[in-house]
Each structure stands twice: as structure tokens, then as C-alpha cells.
Structure 1
Amino acid sequence: MSLGDVAGLIAAIAFVLLVGLLAVPLLKLGRVLDEARDAVRELTEHTVPILDEATTTVAETNVQLAKVDTVTTSAAQVAENVSALTGLYASVLGGPLITVASTLHGVRKASARAFSRVRGLDPDDAAPASPAPDLRGRRGSTR
């Protein structure tokens, strides 16, 4: 065996060792990729039903929102109708009610003046009504 044959044999052994050393990480990487593939498959199996359920929930929520929209539209129409009815009552009853109240006030004043003349009192000289007694400063109060 010549020196070149020994060098070739050493180079071949070194190459086999290098391939062996590089094969271990490649095998481990292959196992990691297998685990990643299994994890993705499991994640997909669990995620698809959740997405289907979320889609169903969103569809049902849209149906309920349509119903709520109908209710709020109806409530807005009722509020508008009540407002219009209140305005109508105010215009129909408000003016005549004020007129009746002012007329009754005038009749009361006129009758009070007439009765005071019958009694012989001048209505302009009549004494004002006495104020209500002040009970705040009484002794023995239970406040």
C-alpha cells in the first residue's frame, strides 16, 4: 500500500465519519418535521369545527340583529307617533284650556269684586290674606 492509498483511505474514513455525523442532525430534523406535521394535522382537526361553529354563531347573530333592527324601527315609529300626538293634544287642548282658565280667573275676580261691593268693602282696600304660621322655630320639635 502506497502513501497515496493510505491518504485516500484516511480521506474515505473521514468522509464516512462526516456523513455519519451529519446524518444524526438530519434524522433529528426529520423527526421534528414529522412532529410538526402531526401538530398541524391535530390543530386543523380542532380548528375546523371551531370555525364552523363561529360561522353558525355569526349567521344566527345576523338573524337576531335583523329582528332587533325591526324592533328598534318600530320603537322609533312609536316615539314619533307619541310625539305627534302630544303636539296635537297641546295644540287642540292647550289653547282652549288657557282661554277657559283665563275666563274663569276673570269671572272669579269679577265675582269677588261684586261680592265685596255688596258687603260694603272696597275690593282695592281689602286686607291681604294672613300668611301661614311659621312652625320651624317651635320648641319640642321632633326634627
Structure 2
Amino acid sequence: MTPTQIAALIAAGAFVLLVVLLAIPLVKLGRTLDEATNAIRKAHENSDPLFTGANTTLTHVNTQLERVDGITANAKSVSGNVSALSSLFTATLGGPLVKAAAFSYGVTKALRARRTRREEPAGRHSRRGKRGRK
């Protein structure tokens, strides 16, 4: 064997050793990719019930929101009716009620003034004059 053939055999052996050394990480990488594929598949299978449950929950939430919208609309209607009723009450009874209260206050004040005039002694009344009265 010539030295060129021996060098070629050494180079071929080194190349085989390099291929073997690179094959080990490639095989491990293939196993890792297989495990990742299995994990993704399992996650996909387990996500279907999760999404189904989420859809059911959202359906119930939407139903409850529709009910709340109805309740809000009814409350708005009731508050409008109460506002109209209070306006009607104020317009119908407010004026006469204020007049009756003013009349009652005036009568009460007049009666008190009359009582105090009766109870005052005669001498005190003459000293007071018109300016002292309020």
C-alpha cells in the first residue's frame, strides 16, 4: 500500500467517524421532534373540551347580559314614569299646596300676633309704637 492509499483510508475513516458523531445528535433531535409532535397532539385533543366549555360559558354570559339589558330598559322606563308622575303631581298639587301652606302660615302668624296683643299690658303697648313691631 502506498502512502497515498493509507492517507485516503485515514481520511475515509475520519469521514465515517464524523458522520457517526453527527448522526447521534440528529437521532436525538428526531426523538425530540417526535415528543414535541405528541405533546402538541395531546394539547390539541385536550383543548377541544376546554374550548367547548368556554363556548358554553360565553353563551350563558350572553344570555345573562340580555336579561340585564332587559332589566336596565325596564328600570329606565320606570324612572321615566316616576319623573312624569312627579312632574304631574307638582303641576297639579304643587301650586295649590304652596298656596294653602302660605295661607296657613299667614293665618297662624296673624293669630299669634293677635294673642300677643291681647296679653300685653296697656302701658307697654302705647310705648312701642309702629316702629317696634315686626
TM above 0.5, yes or no, is yes
The verdict on how the C-alpha distance between 1:113 and 1:27 changes in structure 2, with shifts beyond 3 A counting, is closer
1:90 aligns with 2:90: yes
- Corresponding position of 2:128: none
- Corresponding position of 1:7: 7
The verdict on how the C-alpha distance between 1:101 and 1:23 changes in structure 2, with shifts beyond 3 A counting, is same
1:28 aligns with 2:6: no
Say which is worse superposed, 113-122 or 38-47, in terms of deviation: 113-122
Please report the TM-score for the alignment, with normalisation by the length of structure 1. 0.73
Q: Partner amino acid for 2:25? A: P
- Corresponding position of 1:44: 44
Q: Partner amino acid for 1:26? A: L
Say which is worse superposed, 27-36 or 98-107, in terms of deviation: 98-107
Give the percent of matched residue pairs that are identical in Structure 1 and Structure 2. Answer: 46
The verdict on how the C-alpha distance between 1:83 and 1:8 changes in structure 2, with shifts beyond 3 A counting, is same
Structure 2 Cα separation of the partners of residues 62 and 24 of structure 1: 56
- Corresponding position of 1:104: 104
- Cα drift, residue 83 of structure 1: 1.3
The verdict on how the C-alpha distance between 1:119 and 1:2 changes in structure 2, with shifts beyond 3 A counting, is closer
The verdict on how the C-alpha distance between 1:11 and 1:97 changes in structure 2, with shifts beyond 3 A counting, is same
- Cα drift, residue 90 of structure 1: 1.4
Secondary structure of 1:83's counterpart equals helix
Report how many residues are paired: 124
Question: 5 Å matches for 1:44-123?
Answer: 44-110=44-110
Please report the TM-score for the alignment, with normalisation by the length of structure 2. 0.78
- Cα drift, residue 17 of structure 1: 0.5
1:17 aligns with 2:17: yes
The verdict on how the C-alpha distance between 1:2 and 1:117 changes in structure 2, with shifts beyond 3 A counting, is closer
Structure 1 Cα separation of the partners of residues 10 and 108 of structure 2: 135
- Which sections of structure 1, spanning at least 5 residues, go unmatched? 126-143
RMSD: 2.5
Structure 2 Cα separation of the partners of residues 99 and 93 of structure 1: 10
More helix as a share of residues = 2
The verdict on how the C-alpha distance between 1:31 and 1:115 changes in structure 2, with shifts beyond 3 A counting, is closer
